[in-house]
Amino acid sequence: MKNIKDYDLEELKNELKQIGEKPFRAEQIFKWLYQDKVKEFDEMTNLSLQLREKLKENYTMCNYKILKKQKSKDGTIKYLFDVLDGNAIETVLMSYHHGYSLCVSSQIGCKMGCKFCASTGINFIRNLTSGEIVEQILAVEQDENIRISNIVFMGIGEPLDNYDNVVNAIRIINNQKGLSIGARHISISTSGLVPKIYKLAEENIQCTLSISLHASNNEKRSSMMPVNNRYPIEELMQACKDYIKKTNRRISFEYALAKDNNDNLDDAKELIKLLKGMLCHVNLIPINKIENGQFDKSSNENIMKFRDFLNDHGIVATIRRELGSDIDAACGQLRRKNLKQ
Ligand code: SF4
């Protein structure tokens, strides 16, 4: 059966037309789903009994079950959801002074094979649908009785490898009649799928693009991220420059510091050369050590030196606060552990 949350508002209008209903019903259904956050068609009380029956015959609501929930001392909560076909995905809720931010997954597994990521080694199974992406937000908001204000596509999966469903999910999240989260509060993180970066630049979405860069030369980056063999740094940087020019939006470059690998001042110098003059920000991440992983976390002293060096040379850099380090918060860790049990 089809998932009613897979459709953005315009698509839902068309769906309803096909079952002989007036398009304005789509707006009513959208309101029930994303503003009233009901879990059953029978709760949509301004729809006729007959329409509710029709909806039940044709669509599911895709309400997730929580398989596991871990809460960190710092308030970060990690969920493992049953996506109703025997597979599980992770979603992480982080609490900041400016509100709640949710890190959502976009695929079940990932094909990219980044060497520092706990999702590596878990087979790619399938893309999540738009509704399955959106459901992560609804399920967490309902469970914690909160309103989420920021969405980051930084969980399991390469969002741009599931381009259509991710963009469609963003339209539902962003729609004022949907979840109504401003596009500027939505961030997509990519390992660097160059053709999709060009495509995203053409969409009329004001979301933030984050690039998982992690190294400033091809040799090092390829050793950490095999995707770099397909789309080397020069091509990636060209796509980023084009994205900035088209959207006038600042790009965020993610740089996970691994001890004795990419964390010395020569690496910082190379990074400055690469990013000089670009409208960008560097997010330095103390790398999360994963089981059997080949990288160790850089020392705090090194991380601060690296940041100061970038800032002193005109590149805005900040260190990402470590959240949930006591609860397997690196993407893929919780799922990986549970798959083994
Ligand atoms: S870091 Fe992201 S893109 Fe890379 S393997 Fe992990 S989930 Fe996939």
pLDDT of the residue at 291: 59
Give the pLDDT score at 117: 85
69 beta partners = 79
Please give the distance, rounded to the nearest whole angstrom, from the Cα atom of residue 189 to the centre of ligand 1: 9
User: What is the H or E stretch that residue 210 is in?
Assistant: strand 208-212
**How open is the CA angle 244-156-315, to the nearest 5 degrees?**
35
Q: Do 235 and 159 lie in a common domain?
A: yes
Q: Which CATH number is 73's domain given?
A: 3.20.20.70
Give the domain extent around 38.
Answer: 2-60
Distance 159 CA to ligand 1 centre (A): 9
Residues 284 and 208 both lie in one domain: yes
Residue 37 CA to ligand 1 centre (angstroms): 31
Cβ-contact 151, 101 below 8 angstroms = yes
Is there a single domain that holds both residue 120 and residue 177? yes
Cα of 156 vs centre of ligand 1, distance in Å, is 6
Which residues touch 92 (CB under 8 Å, ≥6 apart)?
76, 77, 78, 79, 102, 103, 155, 324, 329, 331
Structurally, the chain folds into a number of domains equal to 2
Q: What is the pLDDT along the chain (341 residues), one digit of tens a residue?
A: 899 999 999 999 999 999 899 999 999 999 999 999 999 999 999 999 999 999 999 999 999 999 999 999 988 999 999 998 999 999 999 998 889 999 999 999 999 999 888 776 678 999 999 999 999 999 999 999 999 999 999 999 999 999 999 999 999 999 999 999 999 999 999 999 999 999 999 998 989 999 999 999 999 999 999 999 999 999 999 999 999 999 999 999 999 999 999 999 999 999 999 999 999 999 998 887 665 677 888 899 999 999 999 999 999 999 987 766 665 555 555 555 554 43
CB-based burial label for 328 (10 Å; 0-12, 13-18, 19+): buried
Instruction: Reply yes or no on whether 90 is catalytic.
Output: yes
Q: Is residue 331 annotated as a catalytic residue, yes or no?
A: yes
Rounded CA-CA distance 267/261 in Å is 9
Choose which residue among 103, 112, 254, 288 to substitute to test ligand 1 binding: the one with the highest number of ligand atoms within 8 A of its C-beta.
112
Best CA proximity match to 77, nearest among 328, 320, 337: 328
Look-up: residue for tokens 């606060």?
321
Asked whether residue 293 falls in the same domain as residue 188, the answer is yes
Q: H/E/C letters for each residue in 95-151?
A: EECCEEEEECCCEECCCCCCCCCCCCCCCCCEECCHHHHHHHHHHHHHHHCCCEEEE
**Which of 62, 207, 240, 331 is flagged as catalytic?**
331
Q: Enter the tokens of residue 341.
A: 């049990």
State whether 76 and 46 are in the same domain: no
Q: Tell me, what's the pLDDT at 281?
A: 96
Which of 60, 84, 107 is at the close of a domain?
A: 60
Residues with CB under 6 A from ligand 1: 110, 112-114, 117, 119-120, 156-158, 191, 331
Same-domain status, 73 and 170: yes
Shared domain for 15 and 128, answered yes or no, is no
Letter for the amino acid at 329? A
How many CB atoms sit inside 10 A of residue 292's CB? 7
Which pLDDT score is estimated for 320?
A: 86
Indicate whether 270 and 134 sit together in one domain. Answer: yes
Inter-CA distances, 25 with 15, 43, 48, 82, 244, Å = 11, 15, 10, 30, 39
DSSP 3-state of 170: helix
Q: Annotate 232-244 with DSSP letters as a single string.
A: -HHHHHHHHHHHH
* Residues 19 and 121 occupy one common structural domain: no
Q: How far apart are CA 227 and CA 271, in angstroms?
A: 19
User: In the numeric block, which tokens belong to residue 240?
Assistant: 């980023």
Q: Are 87 and 157 spatial neighbours (Cβ–Cβ below 8 Å)? A: no
47 lies in the same domain as 80: no
Indicate the top mutation candidate among 106, 119, 211, 285 to test ligand 1's pocket, ranked by most ligand atoms within 8 A of CB.
119
Same domain, 174 and 300: yes
Cα of 252 vs its chain's centroid, Å: 14
Residues 6 or more apart in contact with residue 321 via CB below 8 angstroms: none
Length of the chain: 341
SS3 303: helix
